[in-house]
């Protein structure tokens, strides 16, 4: 997000950052108690064994820092200091609505928030969301990760679409496919999606600034799937860690679950 805002601000002055900051996760002790209450002792023992089979978190964090530096560079380090920031617990809070009325923005860009309600969006503003997935095939959360879990590396990409009150369901403005390279990890793929998505967003903003028409392409929501938080569980996180640790992506590229590259809408 810092990279996205910084790159946009270089070309089109950003007047306000609204950052949704939801409550943090439960404490480790509380989380462990909840898991013990929900599972038997045998399940907990196996979970602890699996936990120590994965890479140490410090090593994972260090690798991610290197990938961020190499792929996104220094503009990912911080938001531009000259942009005021409103930090809020709920993106649809009345304080957000009031602030947007005061700002009367020409453009509203969204990335990584919960659903933005129609009542929150200011009337007349050009708006779009940057979704790290190829809609409608992969909508909702962790779309690139779900494509990896499904061994579907040729249908990973980014979608810029208009906002609706349905997850990643608005009319598509532009898309770009990102095919992983053999050395990629789930994290480096996500960073590449941010980088190419930002480049496409800038092209969209330039077209809008020139007054050129931007085509809207309604989605066929009978195609693909929308993944919600309830679909995610710790085993999938461990499986992704295994994909990274054991270098599964080269095998995935050779033997994908499908070689069909679903059609996408690229910016003309």
| No. of helices (H) and no. of strands (E), the chain | 9, 8
**Amino acid 146: pLDDT:** 97
Residue of 78, 66, 64 whose CA lies nearest to 3: 78
Integer Cα distance of 162 and 218 in angstroms: 10
In-domain check, residue 173:
yes
d(CA 167, CA 44) in angstroms, rounded, equals 34
What's residue 24's pLDDT?
53
- 227 in any annotated domain: yes
Which pLDDT does position 47 carry in this prediction? 47
SS3 114: coil
CATH of the domain at 147: 3.40.50.170
Q: Is residue 262 part of a domain?
A: no
- 38 exposed, middle or buried (CB, 10 Å; 0-12, 13-18, 19+)? exposed
Q: Which residues of the chain have pLDDT under 50?
A: 25-53
Enter the tokens of residue 100: 């947007």
Q: What is the DSSP letter of 171?
A: P
Which pLDDT value is given to residue 139?
97
The structure tokens listed for 189 are: 């793929």
Instruction: Identify the domain containing residue 173 by its residue range.
Output: 2-22+55-254
The answer to whether residue 48 is domain-embedded is no
Is 45 part of a structural domain of the chain?
no
Collapsing DSSP to helix, strand or coil, 222 comes out as coil
For residue range 225-252, what is the model confidence (pLDDT) as tens digits? 999 988 988 899 899 999 999 999 999 9
Query: pLDDT digit string (tens) for 33-71?
Result: 443 344 444 444 444 444 444 557 788 888 899 999 999
User: Rounded distance, CA 240 to CA 246, Å?
Assistant: 10
Q: Domain for residue 268, yes or no?
A: no
Say how many domains are in the chain.
1
Distance, CA of 114 to CA of 188 (rounded, Å): 23
CA angle 161, 164, 166 (to 5 degrees): 105
């Amino acid at each position: 997000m810092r990279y996205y805002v910084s790159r946009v601000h270089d070309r089109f002055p950003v007047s306000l950052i609204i950052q949704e900051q939801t409550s943090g996760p439960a404490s480790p002790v509380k989380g462990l108690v909840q898991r013990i209450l929900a599972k038997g002792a045998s399940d907990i023992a196996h979970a602890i064994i699996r936990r120590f089979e994965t890479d140490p978190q410090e090593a994972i964090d260090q690798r991610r820092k290197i990938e961020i530096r190499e792929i996104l560079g220094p503009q990912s380090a911080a938001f531009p200091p000259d942009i005021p920031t409103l930090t809020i617990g709920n993106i649809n809070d009345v304080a957000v609505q009031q602030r947007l009325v005061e700002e009367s923005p020409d453009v509203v860009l969204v990335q990584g928030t919960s659903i933005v309600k129609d009542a929150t969006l200011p009337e007349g503003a050009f708006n779009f969301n940057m979704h790290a997935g190829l809609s409608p095939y992969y909508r909702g959360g962790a779309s690139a990760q779900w494509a990896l879990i499904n061994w579907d590396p040729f249908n990973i990409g980014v979608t810029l679409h208009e906002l609706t009150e349905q997850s990643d369901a608005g009319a598509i403005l532009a898309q770009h496919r990102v095919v992983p390279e053999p050395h990629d990890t789930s994290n480096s793929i996500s960073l590449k999606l941010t980088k190419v998505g930002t480049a496409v967003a800038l092209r969209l903003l330039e077209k809008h600034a020139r007054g050129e028409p931007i085509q809207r392409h309604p989605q066929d929501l009978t195609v693909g799937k929308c993944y919600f938080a309830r679909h995610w569980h710790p085993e999938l996180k461990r499986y992704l860690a295994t994909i990274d640790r054991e270098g599964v992506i080269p095998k995935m590229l050779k033997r994908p679950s499908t070689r069909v590259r679903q059609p996408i809408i690229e910016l003309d």
